Amino acid sequence: MSIDEVLAALTSLCDAYDTFDRCDLDTLTSPQLLQVLDRLQTLGCQLPTQDHRILARLRAETTPAELGAKSWRDVLATRYRISTAEAGRRLTDAEHLGPASP
């Protein structure tokens, strides 16, 4: 799959989110809201798996130094403007929950 196809898929995902964000949820019943919440929960569990996949590949194929940082925590903290503690949590999650190394 090419980078153009990957970015097109992400654009579609972002567009779908924007469409959902504009939805009027005030007209939904409680059972309908639970149905929507169920779908959001599922999606919320699926999305981090992509982070884990990408971080595993990056860690296998490059070094923090090649990306201009001292550590992977620094790479994430700087790039995404998050704390080093949050960066560490993401890296730990990716290590434990990401794809297994061959």
Is 71 part of any domain? yes
The 3-class secondary structure across 63-100, one letter per residue, is CCHHHCCCCHHHHHHHHHCCCHHHHHHHHHHHHHHCCC
Structural domains counted in the chain:
1
* pLDDT at site 102: 52
Model confidence at 98: pLDDT above 70: yes
Alpha-carbon span 94 to 54, nearest angstrom: 9
The pair of structure tokens assigned to 47 is 């999305």
Is 78 part of any domain? yes
How would residue 100 be classed by pLDDT, with cut points 50, 70 and 90? confident
Give 76-86 pLDDT, tens digit per residue. 999 999 999 99
Give 45-70 pLDDT, tens digit per residue. 999 999 999 999 999 999 999 999 99
Is 34 part of any domain? no
Q: Which domain holds residue 67?
A: 48-102
Q: How far from 48 is each of 23, 66, 94, 98, CA to CA, in Å?
A: 24, 24, 9, 9
The pair of structure tokens assigned to 45 is 């569990």
